[in-house]
Amino acid sequence: MKKVFGLASTLLISAGVLAACGGGEEEPSATNDNGGSEDDRTLTVAMGTDMVTFDVHNHVNTSTEAIHVNMFNYLFKRDNETGEILPDLAEGYEKIDDLTWEVKLKEGVTFHNGEALDSEDVKFTLERVAHDSTLLDHINYNSIKEVEVIDDLTFRIITNAPDPALLNRISRIASSILPSEYIEENGMDHFLENPVGTGPFEFSEWIRDDRVVLEVYEDYFEGQNEEWDEVVFRVIPENSTRVSELLTGGVDLATNIPPSEWERVESNEGTHLSQETSNRTMMLFLRSTEGYPTADPKVRKALDLAIDNKAITDNLLNGAGTPTITRVAPGNFGFAEELYDTYNYDVEEAKKLLAEAGYPDGFELTFHSPRGRYLQDAEVAEMVAGMWSAIGVTANVEFMEWSSFVEMRNAGENEDVFLLALGNSMFDAANALDWYNYERFKGQIDYHNEEVEALLEAAAQNMDPEERAQQYIEAQHLLAEDTAHIVLHQESINVGVSDAIDYSPTMDEIIYVDTITKN
Amino acid sequence: MNNYFVRRILQIIPVLLIISFIVFSLVFVAGDPVALMLPDDASQEDVELLRESLGLNEPFLVQYGTYVANFVQGDFGESYRYGQDAMSVVLERLPATLELAIAALLIALVISIPLGIWSATKQNSGIDLIATGAAVLGKAMPNFWLGIMLILLFSVSLSMFPVSGRGTLAHLVLPSITLGTGIAAEMTRLIRSSMIETLNQDYVRTAKSKGLKNRIVVYKHAFRNSLIPVITITALQTSTLVGGTLITETVFSWPGMGQLLIQAVNTRDMAIVQASVFVIALLVILMNLIADLLYRLLDPRIKYN
């Protein structure tokens, strides 16, 4: 009996020790340690992935940019409400000729180390990304030839060819202005460990795969942020853990909440789900290479007509998604409104078209889809395959891991159909419609429409905005008529938000701390 | 004995080389990092350009040769993701993982030793059945599920512990229980069977027949002698522990090597994968060496030749 008590007490003591670790003094502060909502001068945001780097030119990652925008500024910024491009670090600009843009900087802007912002900083920043082909965002900036410094606050951006999308280009990822003197003096490696920008918050610490901490910058040129002293971006990869942190008050905002967790966030007292349409469109890319059934526009049209886009958004996305037949979303330059929030669905017509194309009994095709890359991607692929079976088309869905998927496409080994959901940080139709450039995706998609290409080519260098927008709109109509690809829907952004703060997501999926206030 | 250890230490070199080759090949076969670094709509041309600038267009053997040449000089290369020396990124994470692993191992020992001894001495009793059943259950529960359940119960419903992250002792409790439970289960069963075997030995019977108290027989005669297999198992659990940290660290967003390795595999960050696997392999080999050393201390009859 004694032994039993001995062992039982050993177990009890162990349990007691464990409980003591968690109970007592830790209990009330458990959530506070993470900078939760109890400390009302600290805003804590939970994200699914860690930021990649402080090298603003060497990532193409929205969650990294979501942190950068709070530490740096662009020359211009896009108004998420109106889509208008407004000056940020710039005072204003003047177009000298088709290749030259003169920009004047605001006076009195300082970096977090006290250095004043000048034209040399802009030259350093833009020429770095425009000239260094190893930087990941180089492909979006190689249209810039050079930056000519006129005086401390005035400079000219000279492009290789007329670039009507220049302002869109320099008001997005990779156009944060860097401190040239600081980097030249200390080296890039030092900057990456101790980044310095002009933004409303300055760098405090980055514990990888754990958190990035920013502190308010008192001398911010638009005035110190009065709401928050500190912002903590925490990395919580597991969806259910991220939601649990939100429910217990450990964080104020949790990004990327999957549909399976929506109910938990909504039904909890003190939190809600906030949704917004994203700039990401889910599409099915059809191979137009000769010999593939999808080379025939009638087959492509039939496949499109067989899909009930609304059933997908209603059932798989709980209504959070908008059916569309163009990749260019609202808020983007060159958006064709009449092609948005609508879809083609007519099973009988689809069967008729298939018969006309010579497939009265349908046919078999291969459908590649990534799994876990986009919101409900695999589920969408399965549902589409099911819908196609109604017109006699048997789709063999192949789910692939992302890098194998990309390699397959680059090697041109993709078969009839593949699924992608593409974003567009440029907010310009030029970026979205680049897929219809025959040469660019030759051997992978092979869609060739000379009329569309002529329009896109003309628009790419057209400095008349109205005419340029019309060219893009016309191209989108031609593409829709020809069913170049099947556009499914616009995805939504799903963020879990504490009722203690006022926050609504923006279409660009960036978190602007300056716009978040306490309730 | 000295010769033995020198030999064992020299054996580490080919083992590490073989491991590096296997890992290098697996990551190479698994896919191209460039595909994961560029935007989803990058063209073939963009991919080729970046691949060339990163030296990834070289044939496999050339890439491996370059890697080994740097590796023998202690250079594990630069992480694509962090743009920093891979080994220093990994070593930065090591303390967090060691903290979690040691806490989990302690929990496992605190649970398994008393429970194992107890159920061995009460073989086939009700208590033994419950302990064995609990061990099977503990082993059968997947780490990620147990972790999520513990969060739901102790953090969301009872608000006893923080949900995730690292910092205070309270942050350590749920992850170490998650990681320790499976190991505790395994060790309970092994301690139990090792004890049962020892309790049936002649010298234990002799001790009992001398009229020694049961407690002395169990702890002094039987338990010490059952420790040898227990030490082997504890050393072997190092790899289970490391494997467990991959999942546990992800569930609890514990900023250790496990989470780093998962992210590195996902982004094909070869340098980080290699450096992490190197550190893990070294840890496992060292733990095995320590176990060998402890055998000798516990049982002087064991000779090394």
CB-CB under 8 Å, B32 with A402:
no
Q: Report pLDDT for A434.
A: 83
Give the Cα separation of B166 and B153 in Å (integer): 19
Of A18, A55, A209, the CB nearest to B260: A209
Instruction: Give A14's pLDDT tier (boundaries 50, 70, 90).
Output: very low
Mean of pLDDT values over B9-14 = 84
pLDDT in tens, A60-110: 878 889 999 999 999 999 988 888 899 999 999 999 999 999 999 999 999
Q: What is the CATH number of domain B95-256+277-298?
A: 1.10.3720.10
Report chain A residues whose CB lies below 8 A from the CB of B170: 21-22, 26, 30, 33
pLDDT at A34 over 60: no
Query: Averaged over A433-452, what is the pLDDT?
Result: 86
Looking at residue B235, its amino acid is A
Chain A hits for B82, CB-CB cut-off 8 Å, are 52-53, 208
Mean pLDDT of B177-206: 87
What percentage of chain A carries pLDDT values higher than 70?
A: 92
pLDDT confidence of residue B305:
52
Q: Give pLDDT, residue B1.
A: 59
For A51-65, A241-255, A291-305, A308-322, which range has the lowest pLDDT when averaged over its residues? A51-65
Q: How confident is the model at residue A18 (pLDDT cuts 50, 70, 90)?
A: very low
DSSP string covering B246-259:
HHHHHHTT--SHHH
pLDDT digits over A381-421, tens only?
Answer: 999 999 999 999 999 999 987 777 877 887 888 999 999 99
Radius of gyration of chain B (CA): 24
**Cβ-based burial of B181 (10 A; exposed 0-12, middle 13-18, buried ≥19):** buried
Q: Which among A485, A460, A424, A501 has a CA at the least distance from the CA of A143? A: A460
Q: Would you state the torsion angle of the CA atoms of residues B219, B220, B226, B230, taken in this order, to the nearest 10 degrees?
A: 70
B177 contacts in chain A (CB < 8 Å): 18
**Domain spans of chain B?**
95-256+277-298
Dist CA B229 CA A344 (whole Å): 69
Q: How far is A216 from chain B (nearest CA, A)?
A: 23
Domain boundaries, chain A: 42-69+186-277+493-518, 76-184, 278-491
Amino acid A26: pLDDT: 34
For residue A394, the cross-strand partners are: A364
> Is the per-residue pLDDT at B13 higher than 90?
no
Lowest mean pLDDT of A450-454, A493-497, B51-55, B287-291, name the range.
Answer: B51-55
Superfamily (CATH H level) for A76-184? Dipeptide-binding Protein; Domain 1 (3.90.76.10)
Q: Is the pLDDT of residue A24 over 60?
A: no
Q: Does domain A42-69+186-277+493-518 have CATH number 3.40.190.10?
A: yes
pLDDT of residue B304: 59
Smallest CA-to-CA distance from A253 within A434, A14, A63, A486 is with: A63
What proportion of chain B, given as a percentage, has pLDDT over 90? 20
Rounded mean pLDDT of B128-133? 88
Residue A5: predicted pLDDT: 38
Q: Which of A175-189, A214-228, A235-249, B38-52 has the lowest mean pLDDT?
A: B38-52
Q: What is the structure's pLDDT at A243?
A: 95
Q: Which residues of B touch A407 (CB under 8 A)?
A: 31-32, 35
Note the pLDDT of residue B248: 93
Q: From the list B50, B83, B151, which residue is nearest A192 (CB)?
A: B83
Answer whether A339's CB lies under 8 Å from A326's CB.
yes
Specify the pLDDT at position A59.
Answer: 83
Q: How confident is the model at residue A373 (pLDDT cuts 50, 70, 90)?
A: confident
Q: What is the 3-state secondary structure (H, E, C) of A463-506?
A: CCHHHHHHHHHHHHHHHHHCCCCEEEEEEEEEEEEECCEECCCC
CB atoms B43 and A403 under 8 Å: no
Answer yes or no: same fold for A76-184 and A278-491: no
Average pLDDT over residues B75-83: 80
pLDDT at position A418 is 95
Residues of chain A contacting residue B169, judged by C-beta atoms under 8 Å apart: 21, 26
- Tokens at residue B132, please? 């064995």
What's the CA gap between A197 and A205, in Å, rounded? 14
CA separation for the pair A460, A287 (Å, rounded): 25
- Helix, strand, coil abundance in chain A, percent, nearest 5: 35, 25, 40
Which of A243-247, B142-146, B235-239 has the highest mean predicted lDDT (pLDDT)? Answer: A243-247
* A·B CB contacts under 8 A: 174
- pLDDT bin (cut points 50, 70, 90) of residue B303 is low
Q: Say how far apart CA A279 and CA A508 lie, in whole Å.
A: 6
**In this predicted structure, what is the pLDDT of residue A87?**
95
Has residue A320 got a pLDDT over 50?
yes
Query: Taking the CA of residue A70 as centre, how many other CA atoms within 13 Å lie in the half-sphere pointing to its CB?
Result: 29
This model of the complex carries an ipTM of 0.78
Please say if the pLDDT value at position A513 is more than 60: yes
Q: Check whether A38 has a pLDDT greater than 70.
A: no
A22, pLDDT greater than 70: no
Residue with more model confidence, B28 or A305: A305
**What's the mean pLDDT in A434-451?**
86
Task: Please tell me which of the candidates A192, A209, A407 has its beta carbon nearest to residue B35.
Answer: A407
| pLDDT above 90 (res A267) | yes
What mean pLDDT value characterizes chain B?
84
Q: Which residues pair with A42 in a beta bridge?
A: A230
CB spacing of A11 vs B111 below 8 angstroms: yes
In angstroms, the separation between the Cα of residue B10 and the nearest Cα of chain A is 35
**A333 pLDDT higher than 80:** yes
Q: What is the pLDDT of residue B199?
A: 82
The arithmetic mean of pLDDT across residues A35-41, rounded, is 59
pTM: 0.83
Predicted confidence band at A443 (pLDDT cuts at 50, 70, 90)? confident
Whole-angstrom Cα distance, residue A407 to residue A416? 16
pLDDT surpasses 90 at A156 = yes
Task: Specify the pLDDT at position A351.
Answer: 95
Distance from CA of A252 to the nearest CA of B (A): 14
Closest CA of chain A from B147, distance in Å: 9
With beta carbons less than 8 A apart as the criterion, state whether A70 and A200 touch: yes
Q: Do A43 and A230 touch, CB atoms closer than 8 A?
A: yes
Is the pLDDT confidence value at A7 over 50? no
What average pLDDT does this structure show over B126-138?
88
Locate A29 and state its tokens: 């502060």
Query: Is CATH 2.40.50.100 correct for A278-491?
Result: no
Task: Name the band, by pLDDT with cuts 50, 70 and 90, for residue B26.
Answer: confident
Region A459-469 average pLDDT: 91
